[in-house]
Chains A and B, each alone.
Chain A
Amino acid sequence: MNTSRPQTFYDRVAKATPGGELLGQCLQCGSCGGSCPSGPDMDHTPRALFAMIRAGLEDEVLRSNAPWYCVSCFSCTARCPQQIPITDIMYTLKQMAIQEGHYDHPHATKFSETFIGFVEQRGRSFEFGLATRYHLFHLIQHPTQMLKMGGMGFNMLRRNRLALRPKSIQNMDQLSAILNEAKAIAAKEEQV
């Protein structure tokens, strides 16, 4: 066995995913693509992406919309006959797409980033802020959509289902310290 071959795209994906070495076991059976509730909207099914990863088609894989359409329902993972952690591989592909600047459709990333922004600032998610900030800044191109969502927000408020003021945890210092350290560890990992 030649262990000194240069690291390929496949190696990087497998290494970055807990249990990712199972990716090499893919039979190309399509259980994942058939099980995926948002599969019809993906440009490449997970199975096809895995073949593309093996073929080293890094650019095309990281430009695929598939990871962004993943709803994290684990249907594919539960049914995979080779027990590949497919959902976690989708997460890895999202991370890589962002880091390497390949994904040029900011819609999905911005939602995630807005969400995480609140969590990092306050330790809790904050729907009203999420709704307003996300819709104000990122749906500005789709006024009808915003109007609809605005109406929904109003209805949520009326039913006492939205808080106007964000809640924070008490020991924010502790959480920030943990997250900063975790980010530092993750950043070090990428350099390797």
Chain B
Amino acid sequence: MTEIREQSEKRVGVYICHCGHNIAGTVDVEHVAEWAYNLPHVVISRDNRFMCASTGQEQVEEDIKEYELTHVVVASCSPHMHEKTFRGACARAGLNPYLFEMANIREHASWVHPNDKDGATNKAKALVSAAVYRVLQHEPLTPMEVEIRPETLIVGGGIAGIQAALEIASAGYHVYMVEREPSIGGHMAQLDKTFPTLDCSACILTPKMFDVGSHPNITMMTYAEVESVDGYVGNFTVKVRKKSKHVREDQCTGCGTCWEKCPVKVIDTEYEASLGYRKAIYRPFPQAVPKYPVIDIENCTYYKTGKCKACEKFCQRNAIDFDMPDEVVEIQVGNILLATGYELFDCRRIPQYGYGRLENVYTSMEFERLVNATGPTEGKITLRDGETMPKSVAIIHCVGSRDKNHNEYCSAICCMSSLKFAHLVMEKTGAEVYQFYIDMRPIAKGYEEFYHRILEEGANFIRGRVSEITDAAHVPEEEGKLIVIAEDTLIGRQRRVPVDMVILSAALEPRHDAAEVAHLFSVGCGNTGFFTERHPKLDPVATMTEGVYIAGACQGPKDIPDTVAQGAAAAARILSVISQRRVELEPVRASIDESRCSGCRICNNMCPYGAIAYLEDLAVSRVNPALCKGCGTCVAACPSQIITGAHFTFDQLMAEIDGIMVDVHTAAPVRVGNQPIKVGEA
């Protein structure tokens, strides 16, 4: 056990939170408080129903003053949740907030051992003991203040990014928007009508796209991707690779001659969802912003054979530049918003639905293009032959969603978009429509009413997840049809429904490179692969990394109203940070004892943030405190053990270990410090 000085002036206050029944339902909190009173230097130990409530915080503040506390321990939930809260309480009472330590007896004890009260109580005691031993070693620390740059980077030019960009730009601050595709607009630009109001997607989106393109406070970088991110909240340095478009935008007028003359026809897997074609030089869609085309060098004849150049020949503005290189630009921003959206589930992963094998099986996005006036059939709903109108259509819900073989989660939008498809099919073709669903979930404003409208319009609803879609006809009326096989669970019987066309309402999935993007921006990905918010209820657009926010479907499947709301919410959060002008940085960072540094430079390369520089003249290494994130890699790597991580010093960690080793089964730990004063709930 750590030796404690007899005549110490250290005075610790310990607070055990009930968290309603969350902790007190399992952990004997009164007992833990009583027991903790006998830990070294503890002068007051209390339990409290809700420490985070104002009464709990005020109790800490009063005690600091009345009992002249020098250190405070709160045992409650995760520090992610309330460390800031209690540090604030300490600071208000005049105590350095870093003389506080938190023990997590909810996530680490009561919640994970709900059936073992004694075990959970003992574990809580050990955690409290560790916190007390540790806090005794804490030193006062002062956060560093840095200025916040007013510029914001928005990654992704879909409706979430567009909404946020316009909010921030209109408030008078500069926005950089980086978009991977040649045009902004995202998935919403591919849609025809939007549920439940059936207003035209393009009509409500394109004015916003135009505003982004023309706003003086917005710098748009399309056909571009972020390569690296350095720095910290308020001061990020971001490198963006602008892929060569091979078209000089200062010369191009977007007249369209080049793509009319281009001889190479390519299946458009992006904007047309593989249902239509584009050229090797192309503008994704007529209302694209910016309006300039790009050359797809993987399919361009010139890049394959060295010949063709038809686009160049016919361009009257001399805007084609086959030798144009990629450009890497460096920008400085204070905040970053990720609005990278989703990808559609690859329906070939469910082979029994026949997508890619049976030609009249479409995905939801293919159908959006099919029914869209700017799509390959100019809005005519046809079979894959491009001519025949279907007389019967089946719409399959939950394709790749609510399925542990693929994605366990509900994709949130498919019920409503499937209802919309039913309406459009019936309106445009008069075909018989069959909806195969597991559960109908029309949950937002106006959605249930839309469901009722489709019922009234006469769509057939069959409650059953489709087992198979086959072309294997068994009876004459099935010949030449797609047969949808499912159990109609409401009558408990297997049904075979022959139809001309099937639409698969595919799941929304994280982008295929979401994990890499998350790593690039130091945000988390949950087990579903979507980016993780700081708190699912109370902080849905922030992340664990200060200064990096998320909005829209990159956080989880959501429809347009929710996406727009998140875009606006993230903008509000960012504007609030910008308006503070300065931000405090956690003082948890490494420092090198330069007098003992041998200059071996091992730490320089180990640092993942490039925060350690070697000073040639002094032959020692030095940490740039603004870049250091306090990860501790260098501390562990230093062969001379002369790098210290503030708030994670050797002494602090060893004391914490000593504390957790205290025998929790003794009625009370041997008391070494000051005399007891008070026990129990106030």
A interface list, Cβ under 8 A from B: 1, 3, 27-36, 39-40, 44-45, 47-48, 75, 79, 81-83
Contact = CB atoms under 8 A, between A and B. Distances in A.
B468 interface: yes
A29 B405 contact: no
Interface string B468-501: 1000000000000000011111001111000000
A45 B405 contact: no
B402 A81 contact: yes
B438 interface: yes
A35 B492 contact: no
Contact of B465 (A3, A31, A83): A31
A83 B485 contact: no
A185 to B, nearest CB: 30
Contacts of A48: 489, 492
Contacts of B352: 79
B403 interface: yes
B25 interface: no
Contact of B487 (A1, A34, A81, A83): A34
A81 B404 contact: yes
A83 B405 CA distance: 8
A30 B405 CA distance: 16
B405 A33 contact: no
Nearest to A83: B404
Contacts of A33: 464, 467, 487, 489, 492-494
Interface of B: 114-115, 352, 402-405, 438, 463-468, 485-489, 492-495
Given A30-B463, A31-B467, 14 more contacts: A1-B114, A1-B115, A29-B464, A30-B467, A30-B487, A31-B487, A33-B487, A34-B466, A34-B487, A34-B494, A39-B487, A47-B489, A79-B405, A81-B405
A35 B494 CA distance: 9
A63 to B, nearest CB: 16
B114 A81 contact: no
A34 B495 CA distance: 7
A45 B467 contact: no
11 contacts: A30-B488, A30-B489, A31-B467, A34-B485, A34-B495, A35-B467, A35-B468, A35-B485, A39-B487, A44-B492, A45-B492
Nearest to B494: A39
A45 B491 CA distance: 10
B351 to A, nearest CB: 11
A30 B465 contact: yes
A32 B404 CA distance: 15
Contacts of B405: 79, 81, 83
Most central of B463, B465, B486, B489 by chain A CB within 10 Å: B465
A142 B404 CA distance: 46
Contacts of B466: 34
A31 B468 CA distance: 9
Most central of B404, B488, B492 by chain A CB within 10 Å: B492
A29 B489 contact: yes
Nearest to A38: B494
A23 B660 CA distance: 41
B484 to A, nearest CB: 9
Contact of B464 (A30, A36, A75, A79): A30
B120 to A, nearest CB: 14
B494 A36 contact: yes
A155 B486 CA distance: 39
A34 B403 contact: no
A29 B404 contact: no
Most central of B405, B488, B494 by chain A CB within 10 Å: B494
Nearest to B114: A1
Contact of A34 (B114, B115, B465): B465
B492 A32 contact: no
Contacts of B467: 30-31, 33-35, 75, 79
Contact of B438 (A1, A29, A45, A79): A29
B213 to A, nearest CB: 43
A143 to B, nearest CB: 31
B114 A32 contact: no
Most central of A1, A34, A44, A47 by chain B CB within 10 Å: A34
A86 B559 CA distance: 35
Contacts of A39: 487, 494
A156 B417 CA distance: 57
Contacts of A79: 352, 405, 467
Given A45-B487, A81-B402, A40 B494 contact: yes
Nearest to A37: B494
Nearest to A48: B492
A118 to B, nearest CB: 35
Contacts of A83: 404-405
B556 to A, nearest CB: 19
Contacts of B488: 30
Contacts of B464: 29-30, 33-34
Contact of B404 (A28, A36, A47, A82): A82
Nearest to A33: B487
Nearest to A27: B438
Q: Which 9 A-B pairs have the closest CB atoms?
A: A33-B487, A34-B467, A30-B487, A81-B403, A30-B464, A29-B465, A35-B467, A30-B489, A34-B486
A82 B405 CA distance: 8
Contact of A47 (B402, B468, B487): B487
A29 B438 CA distance: 5
A128 to B, nearest CB: 34
A45 B486 CA distance: 11
Most central of B466, B487, B492, B493 by chain A CB within 10 Å: B487
B485 to A, nearest CB: 5
A81 B466 CA distance: 11
A98 B168 CA distance: 72
Contacts of B489: 28-30, 33, 45, 47-48
B401 to A, nearest CB: 9
B402 A27 contact: yes
Contacts of A47: 487, 489, 492
Given A35-B468, A40-B494, A79-B352, A30 B486 contact: yes
B115 A45 contact: no
Nearest to B115: A1
Nearest to B485: A34
Contacts of A35: 467-468, 485
B591 to A, nearest CB: 50
Contacts of A45: 487, 489, 492-494
A31 B465 CA distance: 5
Contacts of A1: 114-115
A74 to B, nearest CB: 13
A1 B114 CA distance: 9
Contacts of A31: 465, 467, 487
Contacts of A34: 464-468, 485-487, 494-495
B115 A81 contact: no
Nearest to B407: A81
Contacts of B492: 33, 44-45, 47-48
B475 to A, nearest CB: 12
Contacts of A27: 402, 438
